[in-house]
A and B are shown apart, each in its own frame.
Chain A
């Protein structure tokens, strides 16, 4: 451990541990403790049920796909907001945060109203044989909506600090625009993109309020894992609900650890190549 120049490390660490412990670890510990009440037999049944598997798959695959969409869309939006000056830019910039401010249930109802077969957008998709609301696609739409601001907001500061000189240098050295983007700009952005991806993913995995309205909630098809937890709670099955939550938590933890490892790799690689 390397001590910094500034004093107060002990106090700082103590504060961090106390705060994280109280706000994050204590509720999680209570969760694990509750889950302990479930018998081995019930746990095995829960884990081996095809319905649990389908719900987990939808939640995680949906979250993964929505985070991917957000990375691409967020990169474009962030880029335009940082690189160009145009009237209304500040308004657009503020609008990026709206998915955070909106109560999720409101977002879910609004999205359902838009994408239902009789909705503004849904009515044009219906003749094409595409239905979004009440299908897994609807789940994806809601998850993409709630996760959108993360990528833009993690990317913006990095984009702002990007040195134009580097791009110009690449240009004078004969790199094409595509090469400059791929070999100069993208590597610098990768750690921020990964962070944004991880945040959007984590948010989407746990999302309940907005997804529930648009999903259709049919077992094996459009039922998300958090709904299974709520179903167990409705039967006063606290242990089962907590066990299911711990399973989700475990998956998420592994995913987030993997992503942070990847991010560190990419940062180190960038340092080495710079």
Chain B
């Protein structure tokens, strides 16, 4: 008798769970420095969804190097959405049929709800007087940047340096190549990821300047205090657009397309934009940008689109085996 009662109450409990609306789980596979950002976004989105539609949403996160994360998804990690460091990694998923080839035009602003750029982190007082890219190739200056072959952030940094040299008076491809060759001569350590490079620079005290995501640099400055490191904004840098996308195939299998799309669209709302700005990503919304104007100084940027074409071309020309990075790295 007791057993039946217990069984009944368990059934009731299960039913009441259903009555409140189904609980859904999304998996967001992202890159390394977005941990803090998505922690806040997920909480805000779950509350927003519950208020509008009822039902609980749990969003699980996976973080790691952008390329490695894309590979995990290719190998079967069931991501409903991917939020990676560069479009090429999502292109790779599209090439293998996990989502539509036109994924980047499905959401506004090249599917990048927030942007960032590459800035310099230097030691307190800027002892080597580093003001712009041209100071990085001076003899005796040590530059820390991760390896562009293994780090998305480093690829943006490489292209920023290239674009700077290209856009100088009399700039051309040959001059740009010579510039990055000299730059990489000054690199004593090539870490595999952005966070490791930050650690090498900050904790190990190696190098005079770190090429860094703006959001990483601001985060480092906040955690270390303004006395430890300073941020230098170069005359020109790249508009880094980390893209987001619904992984069609997985979302269809999980029946989560609608929620996954709503989740990404939430990033474009004022609330989402403000959370991005709070975590040092430059928001697209003018309103959020104005609110956080103090932390984002004006910077002259160029995009992949206006300088390089698209990421597939960039990857092939610069970072594939035998590409320009291989040609300018030491010993080749």
Contact = CB atoms under 8 A, between A and B. Distances in A.
Contacts of A237: 321
Interface in A100-118: 112-113, 116-118
A19 to B, nearest CB: 25
Contacts of A116: 204-206
A231 interface: yes
A235 interface: yes
A51 B149 contact: no
Nearest to B187: A218
A233 B205 contact: no
Given A219-B329, A219-B330, A235 B315 contact: yes
A134 B203 CA distance: 14
A270 B203 CA distance: 53
B71 interface: yes
Interface string B295-332: 00000000000000000000100011110001001111
Interface residues of A, number: 30
Interface string B135-169: 00000000000010110000000000000000000
Interface string B192-215: 100010000001111000000000
Contact of B206 (A117, A219, A232): A117
Nearest to A212: B192
B330 A218 contact: yes
Given A112-B204, A235-B319, A218 B67 contact: no
Contacts of B149: 231, 234-235
A90 B187 CA distance: 46
Contacts of B187: 218
A245 to B, nearest CB: 15
A216 interface: yes
Of listed A112, A116, A216, A234, residue having the most chain B CB within 10 A: A234
Given A50-B331, A50-B332, A227-B192, A235 B206 contact: no
B204 A235 contact: no
A217 interface: yes
B189 A217 contact: yes
Contacts of A119: 204
Contacts of B319: 235
The B interface is mostly helix, strand or loop, or mixed, namely: loop
B68 to A, nearest CB: 7
For chain B, which range describes its interface: under 10, 10 to 19, 20 to 34, or 35 or more residues?
A: 20 to 34
Contacts of B203: 113
Nearest to A109: B199
A249 interface: no
Interface string B264-291: 0000000000000000000000000000
A220 interface: yes
Contacts of B188: 134, 216, 218
A147 interface: no
B180 to A, nearest CB: 14
A216 B191 CA distance: 7
A213 interface: yes
Contacts of A153: none
**Among B147, B192, B321, B332: residue with most chain A CB under 10 A:** B321
A116 B189 CA distance: 12
Nearest to A123: B205
Contacts of B205: 116-118
Contacts of A54: 331
A1 B31 CA distance: 57
A37 to B, nearest CB: 15
Contacts of A221: 330-331
Interface string B64-75: 010110110010
Interface string B209-226: 000000000000000000
Contacts of B57: none
B190 interface: yes
Interface of B: 65, 67-68, 70-71, 74, 92, 147, 149-150, 187-192, 196, 203-206, 315, 319-322, 326, 329-332
28 contacts: A45-B321, A45-B322, A51-B326, A54-B331, A112-B204, A116-B206, A117-B205, A133-B204, A134-B188, A134-B206, A212-B192, A213-B196, A217-B189, A218-B190, A218-B330, A219-B329, A219-B332, A220-B331, A220-B332, A231-B149, A233-B68, A234-B67, A234-B71, A235-B67, A235-B149, A235-B320, A236-B71, A240-B321
Interface of A: 45, 50-51, 54, 112-113, 116-119, 133-134, 212-213, 216-221, 227, 230-237, 240
